[in-house]
Structure 1
Amino acid sequence: MSITHHWIDGLAELTLLHRGANQTPRLAVIHYSVTNTVAEAVAALDAQRASYHILIEKSGVAFQTRRFTETAAHPGLSNWKPLGNVGLGSSVQVGSVGICLMNKGYAFDAGAPHGPGRLIYNPDDAAMQQWEHYPAAQVSTCRKIVRDVIDAYDIEEVVGHHDVAIMGKFDPGPLFDVAGLNALIARQPRLGFETEVASPDGRLNLRQRPSTDSPVLAQLRNGRTVHVRSIAYGPREACIDPRPATARKRYLTRWASIGLDSADRHAGFVNMKYLAATPLSPALAALL
């Protein structure tokens, strides 16, 4: 495969109702569709005025819906390694390539193990064995497309939707190797927003999930350097600013996924109120 004029050579083209604006791709975001076929996905996307750049059947047949330099409405409310000025409506939509694999997932099954952050960072949970597997042909096509996108654009990182929209739809799920795709990028990913612990009592709890009810993984002492990877979302009552009365399903919270070392791994969640600085907009930071 190769890319000519922002289209992958040889892929069939599909037209979705949602149209976007110009962008420069910097991030690739992997999703699953909650449908069995591309035809089902297209019907759902058009009804919601949503879109992806790439749709991949379970057989490995892929379709492109727009040039990669046109935005697609795929990540919703989201943020990733923000440099600053994150607001209630922030999204990584501009600058990202959305790739969606046909897969039913598990997130909408009544038996799914719901709970704040539980699905996101506990892939060894026994209940997760019931997720739908991705066929080898589908994964192979996805890998080839991601490699082409990386070769054609200055892609900084490949992430899952659950990385950039914590507490949103958990996709592509624990059975898809996003890290393997990210390894196709030659350089090391940049770290998140750098700050340090600044708690009144000298210590900050690092928690397993974005909640004070969650187990404490470690206590971080004042002055410890941390990197904010992504700010978590939650229900309206958990919002930093409780005033917005919108119909959104989730809102920006005080909790952030952080990394503690150069390996850029998720270490746990902290309350940003106890950090020396945050990537929030000044108006939201003042409400912490």
Structure 2
Amino acid sequence: MQIKNHLLIKDDGNAVTFKATPNKGGSLTPQYLVMHYTAATTAGSAISWFLNPNAQASAHLLIDRDGSITQFAPFNVITWHAGKSQWQGLSGLNKYSIGIELVNGGRLTKSGNKWICPVDHRTIPIDEVIIARHKNDSTESGWQEYTEKQLEAAMNVAALLVKKYNLKDVVGHEDIAPIRKSDPGPAFPMLSFRSKAMGRNDKSSGEVKNSVELNIRTGAASSFPTLTKALPVGTHMLVLRTEGTWSFVEVLQSVHGIMDLEGWVSTKYLIAAQ
């Protein structure tokens, strides 16, 4: 992909689907990239919302669960994705950032043995649900997973935007508006995503811990055998490299009587160690 005249162009030379939002402001010189989830489960609902003048909301890009992309405004035009927000001394991040929305139900509610998106009331398949604690919460919740195609498309676009506009960092809506927002949430692999998008050495992703009991494996897939019993919640690790949705980590403490443990864990269950 490439960017021409502030529009995203596919490898075949054609622009991605463009639907002009009325919900936009003046000119933008972006400094940051802000990642969001839609809190609903279909691209159609998000597209309709961003095209509705009464919504007073929009973003630059929407990435569907199959990896397809819709653009709503050029990258040099302000969109209304951040709302009341602050970051690194800046207030109102709409004026300073590009916004990407990922189709994802976000925080879910449980009804019997089903997990429901509270916005559009659709049932989320159980194999798309993880139980995790948001970094700004004290209790666990259910969250819809992102798809590999979606994350791959988002990563490619993020790296392109960082390079094109010399962006300072990639952040979540939950970082710039922590009291109001929880997106993109603990199902989003922000540590490795930010590291790759910014072109940093994987070690710079830094020290992390797991938000749930977590298997550590010999390879980067759930089919590989585990090295020991599941890592207890809060085990401190250092991310050495990433591969897809998996991270190769060095465990920084003794677990189950084992020292110097290294192996593969699922990135989506990692949060920054504080």
TM-score range, shorter chain: 0.5 to 0.7
CA contact (8 A) 1:106 1:132 kept: yes
Q: Which structure is higher in strand share?
A: 2
Q: How does 1:40-59 map to 2 (within 5 A)?
A: 40-45=45-50, 46=52, 47-59=54-66
Name 2:4's counterpart in structure 1. Answer: 4
Q: How does 1:155-234 map to 2 (within 5 A)?
A: 155-183=167-195, 184-186=197-199
4+ residue runs of structure 1 moved beyond 4 angstroms? 107-112
CA contact (8 A) 1:32 1:171 kept: yes
Name 1:149's counterpart in structure 2. Answer: 161
CA drift at 1:95:
1.5
Q: Distance in 2 between matches of 1:138 and 1:31?
A: 13
Measured against aligned partners, the alpha-carbon deviations of 1:39-73 in whole angstroms (never above 9, x if no partner) come to 10122332412110000111110111111110110
CA drift at 1:122:
5.0
Q: Percent of aligned positions with the same letter in both sequences?
A: 28
CA contact (8 A) 2:159 2:199 kept: no
Counterpart residue type for residue 106 of structure 1: R
SS of equivalent to 2:35: strand
CA contact (8 A) 1:16 1:42 kept: no
TM-score (ref. length: structure 1): 0.56
CA drift at 1:6:
0.8
Name 2:41's counterpart in structure 1. Answer: 36
More relative contact order, 1 or 2 (CA 8 Å, 6+ apart): 1
Gaps of 5+ in 2: 11-15, 117-132, 202-271
Q: Distance in 2 between matches of 1:40 and 1:15?
A: 15
Gaps of 5+ in 1: 84-89, 113-117, 189-264, 268-288
CA drift at 1:108:
7.0
Q: How does 1:1-288 map to 2 (within 5 A)?
A: 1-10=1-10, 11-45=16-50, 46=52, 47-82=54-89, 90-106=91-107, 119-121=134-136, 125=139, 127-128=140-141, 130-183=142-195, 184-186=197-199, 267=274
Q: Distance in 2 between matches of 1:109 and 1:30?
A: 25
CA drift at 1:26:
0.7
Residues 135/186 of structure 1: CA separation in 2 closer, same or farther (3 Å cut): closer
CA drift at 1:27:
0.2
Superposition RMSD on alpha carbons, in Å?
2.5
Counterpart residue type for residue 59 of structure 2: Y
Counterpart residue type for residue 48 of structure 1: A
Measured against aligned partners, the alpha-carbon deviations of 1:106-156 in whole angstroms (never above 9, x if no partner) come to 1677999xxxxx843359x5x33x200001001111001101101101100
> What is the count of residue pairs matched by the alignment?
177
